[in-house]
Structure 1
């Protein structure tokens, strides 16, 4: 098995504050009397319900707003990666020729990126502004943890300044850590539905992956609805095509930095919280597309 630190849109390590509903106070209802208007009773009974309902909607609204913001950021990043892929692929927007662009298009469709957004990115990739975008990688360490940050930017000086500032604010620095990782290809496939169990699904994916030239297979999530197939970095597109030929549904193909087992670290308590905040800060930068760490 392999230890892959996949890109996140939010760090689960950070303790989140949860809004608490106010406690409803049940007032004694006087015995019915003809002199008490019906409207008075209605107001007393309705007030706690409206107040609690307002708070419940507030929580839902904020959660939905956060999810929508992260989704929009993900689409924006994918769009910039497409532009950079077209540039590095000699200007080709043909996914059959430009493997990297093809992989990004597959991922975009898997996460339901709007077609209009995809078309806009491809159109921009053929315009004069596309030449300004470059893909950059930065290395650093902070809080006893190694970081590799990938970005697509039109101003590398700005991007490196922002990354460096985030690390130094918590006592870290820009430093060489790439030796702690291996550059690999990671192909995500949907679990087969024509088998009776998750064990059978894993066995089917593993068999197809080994035939296709992959190195290993690992569940990509807790419910095992997807599997991550590990390959040599230079062979990931070839293996991806071979998996498709064997009837598997590929949802993403991308290069990744897999931490070498000897260099994994753990974090607990206050350090875990601080690392979560740092990862959130890095991932929230407009230019950053992926953040890798050697956290277990």
Structure 2
């Protein structure tokens, strides 16, 4: 098993790990969702997803209610969604999604991490074309009562364009534009979603040696430590060999 595979396994196990980081991320999701669509989750699907993600990381209801209250305050902090593009060591393309209330600070921090750990930050559009934006829904295997093969066929009609499964979890993928209606269909079927988000899948990946992968992983880890960073996507192969 290569280092990239071990990284993939570790990242799966630590998804949303770190309680403070997870709560910060969810709180910002709630803030952005309310600014876009209002505070009523019945009429704001993005807020419903943010609340569901809060539940997935065991965020107490009191914290969720407080985050909603803060976001509806006219003097609340406004967060902008921003992306950064660049290259890591060994030619690995990296795309960073962040939520920031101070863009100058975030730009400086991200640029510093790229530079310090062997990468270089590029201009907008330099690597974005290498990724496809997809909806990703993670569901515990036990939450699906229907026959999975039959369900897969039925969900194609509402935008399913890929599915992965293991003994614990099923992951559904949709096109970016089908994210909302797919979410509504899972809600209609009473399928509880562990987490739902928009991700960027690479159109191609590059295989590295263990030592090379180690350098890329170090850069990714340091980017993910920044409080403003929501997601980091890359073109390093994380295959099982």
Q: Same fold (TM over 0.5)?
A: yes
Distance in structure 2 (CA, Å) of the matches to 1:127 and 1:194: 38
Q: Tell me the equivalent position of 1:136.
A: 82
Conserved? CA contact 1:237–1:253, under 8 Å: no
Aligned residue runs from structure 1 range 84-233, under 5 A: 84-89=32-37, 92-143=38-89, 144-175=91-122, 176-192=126-142, 202-219=148-165, 223-233=166-176
Q: Tell me the equivalent position of 2:177.
A: 234
Distance in structure 2 (CA, Å) of the matches to 1:74 and 1:146: 25
Which structure has the larger Rg over C-alpha atoms?
A: 1
**TM-score (structure 1 length as normaliser):** 0.69
Cα deviation for residue 129 of structure 1 reads 4.3
Distance in structure 1 (CA, Å) of the matches to 2:22 and 2:16: 10
The alignment partner of 1:132 has SS state of coil
Any stretches of 5+ residues in structure 2 without a counterpart? Answer: none
Cα deviation for residue 69 of structure 1 reads 7.6
Cα deviation for residue 190 of structure 1 reads 2.5
Distance in structure 1 (CA, Å) of the matches to 2:17 and 2:169: 25
Aligned residue runs from structure 1 range 3-152, under 5 A: 12-13=6-7, 70-89=18-37, 92-143=38-89, 144-152=91-99
Conserved? CA contact 1:87–1:130, under 8 Å: no
Structure 1 residues 1-32: Cα deviation after superposition (integer angstroms, max 9, x where no partner): xxxxxxxxxx9539x9xxxxxxxxxxxxxxxx
Q: Tell me the equivalent position of 1:266.
A: 207
* 1:284 maps onto 2:225 in alignment: yes
The CA RMSD over aligned residues, in Å, is 2.6
Q: Tell me the equivalent position of 1:275.
A: 216
Structure 1 residues 32-84: Cα deviation after superposition (integer angstroms, max 9, x where no partner): xxxxxxxxxxxxxxxxxxxxxxxxxxxxxxxxxx9998122111111112112
Cα deviation for residue 205 of structure 1 reads 3.9
**TM-score (structure 2 length as normaliser):** 0.83
Number of residue pairs aligned between Structure 1 and Structure 2? 225
Would the alpha carbon gap of residues 132 and 111 (structure 1) be closer, same or farther in structure 2, given more than 3 Å must change?
closer
Any stretches of 5+ residues in structure 1 without a counterpart? Answer: 1-10, 17-65
